[in-house]
Amino acid sequence: MGGARRLRRPQHDDFLTRYYKMLPKKKTPRGRSRRRRSHQALSGVNYTDCPRCNSPKLPHAACDNCGYVRPGLSLKVEKES
């Protein structure tokens, strides 16, 4: 077995105790670490369609393609060449 198994806390108080006492008392169970990571998943980016040019845009942001924000307001967008 590898080195991780050797870093077990000693059963008796001997001279090695001070080297091991900063280690966790118990191994974290597989289920506990998986339960902890159950909240770490990333969600996908939510796109909406631009009402003017129908290209996908981020909500509450100007359209990348045509610069549309809302009726009466649109930003100037530089065309890629």
66 lines the binding site for Zn ion (CB under 5 A): yes
User: Which two three-digit tokens encode residue 33?
Assistant: 């670490």
In the shown chain, the binding pattern of residues 13 to 52 toward Zn ion, with x for contact by CB under 5 A and - for none, equals: -------------------------------------x-x
Indicate whether 68 belongs to the interface with Zn ion (CB under 5 A): yes
- 64 counts as binding Zn ion under rule CB under 5 A: no
Q: Is 63 near Zn ion (CB under 5 A)?
A: yes
Phi first, then psi: give them for residue 67, nearest 5 degrees: 80, 10
> Does residue 62 interact with Zn ion by CB under 5 A?
no
Strand partners, 68: 74
Report which secondary-structure segment, H or E, holds 74: strand 73-74
In the DSSP assignment, the letter for residue 23 is S
Taking CB under 5 A as the rule, does residue 77 contact Zn ion?
A: no
Residue 38, SS3 per DSSP:
helix
Contact footprint for Zn ion (CB under 5 A): 50, 52-53, 63, 65-66, 68
